[in-house]
Amino acid sequence: MIACECEVCTSDDTKDTRLRSSIMVQSSTTTIIIDATPDFRYQMLREKVKRIDGLLITHPHKDHIAGIDDTRAFQFFNRKATDVYANKMSLEGVKKEIPYAFQQLAYPGIPKVNLHEITLESFTIGAWGLTEPNTGSDAGNMKTTATREGDEWVLNGTKNWITHGISGDVAVVIARTGEPRTSSNCTAFIVERGTPGFTGGKKENKLGMRASETAEMIFDNCRINDSQRLGDVGDGFRQALKVLDGGRISIAALSVGIAKGAFEAAVQYSKERQQFDQPISSFQGISFKLADMATEIEAAELLTLQACDLKMKGESMTKESAMAKYFASEVAVKVSTDAVQIFGGYGYTKDFPVEKFYRDSKLCTIGEGTSEIQKIVIAREVLK
């Protein structure tokens, strides 16, 4: 890792932070870590990313959600410590709904991608809007509506907890096109930034993952053409479920990476920290914690790789992805908590990285479906 001297990293808001954030840019020779600040400037990130050669980045593919396979994507996103914080949403753009968009190839807003060469000249930030202020897990009761008027759709409503709700160049939004709580009652649409009636709203001031922008998307009589519809009318929720199946694998991988980062920091510190004239790793209270951490991380990684393998084979992996996401996210929270404990008072300061692992890990038990929802999914699959 090298110290980055760009305007973002050397600003007064960020230059004194040891581990700067949850966005990491990884090339063959360079790792850059950028801190989370309330006024984080995405345009600077874009320019910095464009200047780095060899960036490992997933991209749209007509056969797979990502141009690189899911196992390689997993290996990237779960890398240790400094590598964990790739903001995959920034780098993957609208990949979540690309499989459906490729069925049409009618909408010009979908970026054209060379499947063999990755270029960042047309670097696109994407957003995916499902969650609403009053409909988190209860997505079937969403309030955002899309009303058809001839060859156009009129969108009204608010989405929240949306990654890149303000900065995204293009969004895929799920809107209700039928009656609440009925089957096949929502549809997916592509909406470009700058479309009249489409604006970004409040940016959330989060506990962790602070360099990943989370904000509202507001639709006020936003008119779009029917060509911007993804899939059939009423197919939005089925698409969302498939998206979430894959997204859970990404969160599981991210969880494993956070856990590994916290674990490795704790191992190193336990070997260096001396108490009673010996390293604290020699005490059973510490070494047993490390043994539990190592075992749980290994199990979480294997569950995640199993889900990756099934997805790459095109087989059903609803249960396996939910298991991986549920277990890995809870492991990330436990391991990062234990890492802070091993660091003691120092773990509670920003001079060491474990406080950040601790803050960031909690989101993994919430995003892409809470741990409680994962249990519902798993139980439903087991009881079929």
- The beta-carbon contacts of 64-69 under 8 Å, at least 24 apart in sequence, are 64/312, 65/95, 65/96, 65/98, 65/99, 65/246, 66/92, 66/95, 67/113, 67/115, 67/118, 69/312
Query: What is the distance between the alpha carbons of residues 334 and 39, in angstroms, rounded to a whole number?
Result: 31
361 neighbors 256 (Cβ within 8 angstroms): no
Query: What is the distance between the alpha carbons of residues 182 and 197, in angstroms, rounded to a whole number?
Result: 27
Q: Which of the residues 92, 97, 355, 368 is marked catalytic?
A: 368
Which residue, 247, 299, 318, is CA-closest to 77? 247
CA angle 202, 197, 235 (to 5 degrees): 90
Query: What is the distance between the alpha carbons of residues 256 and 29, in angstroms, rounded to a whole number?
Result: 23
Query: What is the distance between the alpha carbons of residues 20 and 305, in angstroms, rounded to a whole number?
Result: 29
State the DSSP code for 111. Answer: P
Which residue, 97, 100, 161, 111, is CA-closest to 135? 161
313 Cβ contact partners less than 8 Å away, ≥ 6 residues apart: none
368 a catalytic residue: yes
Query: What is the distance between the alpha carbons of residues 361 and 247, in angstroms, rounded to a whole number?
Result: 16
Q: Is the Cα torsion angle 270, 272, 273, 279 positive or negative in sign?
A: positive
| 259 alpha carbon, distance to own chain's centre | 16
- The radius of gyration of the chain's CA atoms, rounded to the nearest angstrom, is 21
Catalytic residues: 368
